[in-house]
Structure 1
Amino acid sequence: MLAVILQQEWRAFPLWLPVGMGAGIVGYFARSTEPARAVLLLPPLVALLLLALRRHPAWAWPAALGLMITTGYAVPAWHASALPAPLTLPGRAVIVTGSVETVQTLPQGLRITLSGVMLDEGPGTLPRDIRLRLRKDDPLHPSPGDRLRVRALLRAPSAPAYPGAWDFQRDAYFSGLGGSGFAIGSAERLQEADRAPVFATLRASMEQRVATALPGSVGAIAAALITGGQSAIAPDAMAAMRDSGLAHLLSVSGLHIAIVMGLGFGVARCAIAFWPWLALRHDGRLLAAPAALLLGLGYLALTGFQVPMQRSFASAALMTLAVLLGRRVFSMRALALGAVAVMLIQPAAVLGPSFQMSFAAVMALVAGAEATAGWMTRWRRSAEWWRRPLLILMGSVLTSVLATLATLPFGLFHFGRIQLYGVVANMLAVPVTSFLIMPAALAAAALMPLHLESWPLAVMGWGVEVVLWVARTVASWPGAALLARPMPAWALALTSFGMIWLCLWRSGWRCLGLPLIATGLCASFWTAPPDVLVSADARLIAFRTDGAVVLHRASGASNFIRDSWLRGWGEDEAEPYSDKTAGDDALLPCAGLICRFQPREGSRAALLLKPARTRRGETAPPVTAAPACGQEAAVLISPEPIRGRCEGIPVVDRFSVWRNGSHAIWLEPGGARILSDREWRGDRPWVPRPPRPAWERRQENKPLGVSSAEADRSGAPGP
């Protein structure tokens, strides 16, 4: 029976090779330590094994799959070894000098990315880029290629908000970003661009002209649809697009490049048809296809080589090659080729929502088209006039349903939201985008060199207003965007594998993917979230039960971390801690400077040790563990360092998070299970090294023959 199934599915086996490559990439990032350099030798060795087994198909396919897995494992390791180390940035204001790479428009001003950066106290050019937000009232409007100097405060990329959250430091490491910050003075142009980046300059110019013709949110969305830059969109408009399920329209993807290349192909064929000498001697398709591909390549460069566009362009290139060779195009194979191309160029993109949602949606659409091709063809050939309009309507509904269902697990994992009415919103907005907005955008881009873009931009603005109205209307419906607790990472992997199994196979055993998908989607119901979270600076401490979240917050705490915690818990608000809400019947009852948290019956309690309040000018007494000793507790928590220890009770205080980052705590009957961010991520190139005490740094920097006490008195470097 198995042999018969394998024989029937033999043509689908090559489609699993990119899946193996993706599994290898995920395996690399799942490690807690960096693999040895010898891992780069694995793909050549497996390739030699594949050559030896090429005459034995039963063994050659497992060897090919092994080659893709080892390649996926080695590619990110090679990328990581070739990239410069993360930067150590000063903690005070510095003079930053660099060349402008990109200019992005924000609702509060401009954000620029600088390359070739030099600091006033640095030894030379930094090997990584720096992203800065200029002052809102800065009169300077820089262009790509300009060399600027500005006084700014810099900070390194942020650590994850909690263990297991999105890793901004990993994302910055592979993207070449070294840090970000904001200007505290006006920028000064040292030198105008002599050789400005062509596409970055073109992108900035087009965004500025679109914003001039279409002010407000309409112009920001129109610019995003043309160039892919979403930074200028107002928060309320972005929230409406997200909650209605239309946020994918703002990210340039396969839909946009298909429209652009399709229109380019049609215009090129019409132009060839109007030239009889050329049309009678050559096949118009063979001439129009490369022209459309060049147009798509230009659009890809204009939008900044985003991941969905890379996938779409790789598929379009394969289709163009098939047209030129007179071969039939296999859509799923084109998708597989696009996946391999993206993973080779940007292996870290596999972990991001853009890659996952883009490929999942297209895979589901291709599989759905293959499964329904037979009866759709029969409907199309029928003579009744009403069947064709009904078929178009059914195709639109089916497309929206498949894309929504395919991206639902990834949206739930990354954003903790479920858009209930996304099908309705897409049915109304996608046709407007396809038949009105994007053709007008292409016409506007073509007419911009002649300064005649005003009328197509006006038409585009009408379409954007319709889409924005749909987004705001659907987002206002009850329960439009439901909050839900994100599934764990292993559950997303299980769901993804089930979706791939369901879409790639063609026989009945493809249905075995359905229970895998269901198991992954339901995993959050039996996976216990943390009971307590402590931020990396100990300014935020959150306590959660099934009914509420209480937040102990110090001055200067991050709102972003708070929102990330609530999203990770599937909550929309937290109850701020105060003495009035900490009575005996509260979630966090306090007695003196000790608050007791016990989320459920049978679990051990966590004790929050609060610092004593002082008047201005007074010195607060140190937080000590002595009053908590003798109480039955699983863990002691404090926003300040705790003096002393209690026998058998672990401590999470300001020193703990200073050394190991944010902490997550589960309170169980047997005690507390504590997980730090450093334990979760391990020792990787993008994870900062553990900080060292000041005395160690002084010892390392003291002159030979000088004691530690003498080095301290002489002013050796401190913390």
Structure 2
Amino acid sequence: MSSAFARPAPRWPGKPALAAAWEPLLAAERPRLALWLVVALAVGMLVYFALPSEPPPAAWWLAPPLLLLALWLGVRHPMLGLGTGLPAAAALGFAVAGWTTAAQPPALEPPRTATVVLGEVVNVEALPEGRRVTLAAPRFGEGPPESRQIRIRLRANDPARPRPGDRLRVRALIRAPGGPTQPGGFDFQRHAWFSGLGGSGSALGPAEVLPGEAAPVFAGLRAGIEARVAAVLPGAPGAVAAALLTGGQSAIPAGDLAAMRDSGLAHLLSVSGLHIVAVMGLGFWVLRALLALVPGLALRLPLKPVAAVAALALGGAYMLLTGGQVPMLRSFLMAALGTLGLLAGRRVLTLRALALAAAVVLLVQPAAILGASFQMSFAAVLALIAGWDWLRPRLPAAGPGASWRRRLILAGFGLVATSLLAGAATTPFGLHHFGRLQVYGVLANAVAVPLTSLLVMPAGMLAALLMPFGLERFALLPMGWGVEAVLAVAHAVAGWPGAALSVPPIPAWGLGGCAFGMVWLCLWRTSWRLAGVPLILLGLGSGALDRPPDLLVSGDGRLIALRAGGELYLQKLSGSSALVRENWQRQLGVAQVTALPRDGEAAGGVVRCTGGACRLDPGEGLPRAVLLRGEAPGAACASAAVVVSAEPVRGACAAQVVDRFAVWRNGPHAIWLEPGGVRVLSDRAHRGDRPWVPPVPRPRGLASAEPLAAVE
């Protein structure tokens, strides 16, 4: 009877021979086809953020009918439903990104001069010198409360000790978030737009702490833990220990941060999977052991499920304590799915769990897909799951009958393989965002990760449990010893020759190809997964295909760089930004910069400077550029294709001009000297007209910026 009413097998379009050839392949890949819906969701979000202008709101409403169509087709023809589901998921990602952007509060316009600021303290960060507070609903002078938060760095000698929940009044100079340091660089304004930050600045006087409402639970707890840790472990060990417990890295000295980064250990400071596994694992085993000591509970309760649920609750509290950063949110979501799988008797860590965690994070925080934190976190876990799925059947078993030598060898291999898989997966993203390659990261991790997992984190959790009784010192001291050992490893490895290499970053298109190749390689099961390898190699080599600019001009004109002979020559005026210079070095893959000579030649005569100008002549067939340093623009405008200047260039000029007015209106500029002519790209032209990009500034008293162009 059942066979009479059975649904007939779906008939594939095309010739039967083609269907027969594809059927074995589809049968092997069918369990993972749905994972590509999350990839399509991410692609839709990337398309939205890549647009030069905001799309019309009507485009957002394409997603609902496509989703309904995909569901309707999926019930009747699963493969057709999946085929329709891919564009539907992309449309959903596009729409969610647009809806999230529109839901953000308007940008903050802080006063141009110093003013008295009053707001509620929602976070306090310890710095190597002083403190930084985050204020919610700030008021400037007698104005109304603003909808965005601001950050203020208090004076180093300020005796005020604000805590979350207090109200704070201070005279400060506040500035809106700055833009990228060069076209295509990290967009601080976009990050601030989605994080709710409206501006930041420095206090110009002492802060006054006023009584406020009750402190947010986790913000107050975070501040209390950091204070307790600093009291027992002063200096860098205490700052690193507090970062592992609360997620705040602002108090770590710059030298120690650089050592952790150059040794490949910076991921230990970003609370994520390693930390939540330590917290939940320790909580699971301790609670299970305690319950087993009570016969009445041990005989009546299923100890393993009870301990798993309690450990998940502990992990959720730890996530909220550390601020719910993207890696931590991903780790907690996977831990929650793992707990459900454990209760149901299913496998805990799978690609489905990772895909679901990625979908949740993207739907909640679409802009996270553009950040290094999201990209590196999910890439590492994707490579670990797929890599161990491939390795596990090929490794000898380490069952109860295995010798201790075999277990030790397999444990060592597992540690090295994990470091290699995670390091290889995150390398393209590190090259794109930071332009640095950590050569000895596997060796550093082989020592530091076990120290962190077996000593530092367990001691930190014990310290947190002992804090209500004032006994945290007995656990913090061993934690400090472990942290000091990790820092010693970081400094030793970072000091080795060539530990961190500055390399040209791979461009966005190369990173996209590399990421898609990695996803292709990890999601498929059959041999056609190997088609992702050429994409990965092309992405890794794309930095050599992407020609960096020949000149860079900062947004305030105080920094101007000329690239010649593989070196970067810099004009630095008073008040220039060290952050901009460091970002330029990283984006160009240059270890150091050289000051432009006052008079003389550089780069084999490619750069020739006099007291009033520097001329960049890259060779026959290429246009010339002139950097004015006081010389009248007449001769430069007649002999060069492009003229750059830190001061306004007034009057008619036959060459393209990038001066103080140009960067004031359109942000930093990048200039390429090419055989076909000069290519000039401003930050405004690169980012387009998006909500987080400020409008063209205008002088005081003018209705628009247009009259200024006429003055030029």
TM-score (norm 2): 0.94
CA distance in structure 1 between the partners assigned to 2:136 and 2:605 by the alignment: 53
1:181-239 per-position Cα deviation (integer Å, ceiling 9, x unaligned): 00010000122x43111100000010011011011111111111111110000111111
CA distance in structure 1 between the partners assigned to 2:291 and 2:372 by the alignment: 41
The Cα shift of 1:300 comes to 0.4
1:686 aligns with 2:669: no
Which residues in structure 2 correspond to 1:20-39 (within 5 Å)? Answer: 20-39=40-59
1:657 maps to which residue?
663
Aligned length: 686
1:627 maps to which residue?
635
TM-score (norm 1): 0.93
The Cα shift of 1:74 comes to 1.1
The Cα shift of 1:263 comes to 0.9
1:92 maps to which residue?
113
2:12 maps to which residue?
none
Query: In the alignment, which of 6, 20, 37 is matched to residue 17 of structure 1?
Result: 37
Indicate if the aligned counterparts of 1:626 and 1:644 stay in contact, CA closer than 8 A. no
1:346 aligns with 2:354: no
2:275 maps to which residue?
256
1:539 aligns with 2:558: yes
The Cα shift of 1:272 comes to 2.0
1:616 maps to which residue?
none
Which residues in structure 2 correspond to 1:168-247 (within 5 Å)? Answer: 168-191=188-211, 193-247=212-266
Structure 1 441/605 Cα, relative in aligned 2: closer, same or farther at 3 Å?
same
1:391-435 per-position Cα deviation (integer Å, ceiling 9, x unaligned): 101101101111111111111111110000000000001001111
2:456 maps to which residue?
437
1:464-521 per-position Cα deviation (integer Å, ceiling 9, x unaligned): 1111111111111100001101010010010011111111111111111111000000
1:714 maps to which residue?
none
2:295 maps to which residue?
276
1:671 aligns with 2:677: yes
CA distance in structure 1 between the partners assigned to 2:339 and 2:617 by the alignment: 63
Q: Secondary structure of the residue that 1:99 maps to in structure 2?
A: strand
CA distance in structure 1 between the partners assigned to 2:462 and 2:258 by the alignment: 29
CA distance in structure 2 between the partners assigned to 1:584 and 1:312 by the alignment: 50
1:416 aligns with 2:424: no
CA distance in structure 2 between the partners assigned to 1:72 and 1:658 by the alignment: 35
Give the alignment's Cα RMSD to 1 decimal.
1.8
Q: Secondary structure of the residue that 2:638 maps to in structure 1?
A: coil
1:360 aligns with 2:379: yes
CA distance in structure 2 between the partners assigned to 1:72 and 1:403 by the alignment: 27
Structure 1 376/272 Cα, relative in aligned 2: closer, same or farther at 3 Å?
farther
The Cα shift of 1:692 comes to 3.0
Which residues in structure 2 correspond to 1:297-316 (within 5 Å)? Answer: 297-316=316-335
Indicate if the aligned counterparts of 1:531 and 1:599 stay in contact, CA closer than 8 A. no
The Cα shift of 1:670 comes to 2.0
Aligned-pair identity in percent equals 53
Higher deviation after alignment, 684-693 or 474-483: 684-693
Query: In the alignment, which of 577, 585, 607 is matched to residue 566 of structure 1?
Result: 585
Q: Which amino acid aligns with 1:4?
A: P
1:43 aligns with 2:49: no
The Cα shift of 1:3 comes to 3.9
CA distance in structure 1 between the partners assigned to 2:697 and 2:506 by the alignment: 32
The Cα shift of 1:91 comes to 1.7
1:294-329 per-position Cα deviation (integer Å, ceiling 9, x unaligned): 101100000000110100111111111222333333
1:166 maps to which residue?
186
Query: In the alignment, which of 146, 151, 157 is matched to residue 171 of structure 2?
Result: 151
Indicate if the aligned counterparts of 1:545 and 1:600 stay in contact, CA closer than 8 A. no
Higher deviation after alignment, 37-46 or 503-512: 37-46
Q: Which amino acid aligns with 2:273?
A: G
Query: In the alignment, which of 95, 112, 115 is matched to residue 74 of structure 1?
Result: 95
Structure 1: any 5+ residue segments left out of the alignment? 613-622, 701-707, 709-719
Q: Secondary structure of the residue that 2:395 maps to in structure 1?
A: helix
Query: In the alignment, which of 636, 639, 651 is matched to residue 644 of structure 1?
Result: 651
Indicate if the aligned counterparts of 1:361 and 1:407 stay in contact, CA closer than 8 A. yes
Q: Secondary structure of the residue that 2:183 maps to in structure 1?
A: coil
Query: In the alignment, which of 96, 111, 118 is matched to residue 139 of structure 2?
Result: 118
The Cα shift of 1:384 comes to 3.7
Indicate if the aligned counterparts of 2:339 and 2:348 stay in contact, CA closer than 8 A. no
Q: Which amino acid aligns with 1:140?
A: A
Higher deviation after alignment, 293-302 or 327-336: 327-336
CA distance in structure 2 between the partners assigned to 1:578 and 1:95 by the alignment: 44
The Cα shift of 1:584 comes to 11
1:495 maps to which residue?
514
1:224-273 per-position Cα deviation (integer Å, ceiling 9, x unaligned): 11111100001111111111000100110001001111111111211221
Q: Which amino acid aligns with 1:113?
A: T
Indicate if the aligned counterparts of 1:544 and 1:599 stay in contact, CA closer than 8 A. no
Structure 1 366/568 Cα, relative in aligned 2: closer, same or farther at 3 Å?
same
Q: Secondary structure of the residue that 1:589 maps to in structure 2?
A: strand
Q: Which amino acid aligns with 2:63?
A: P
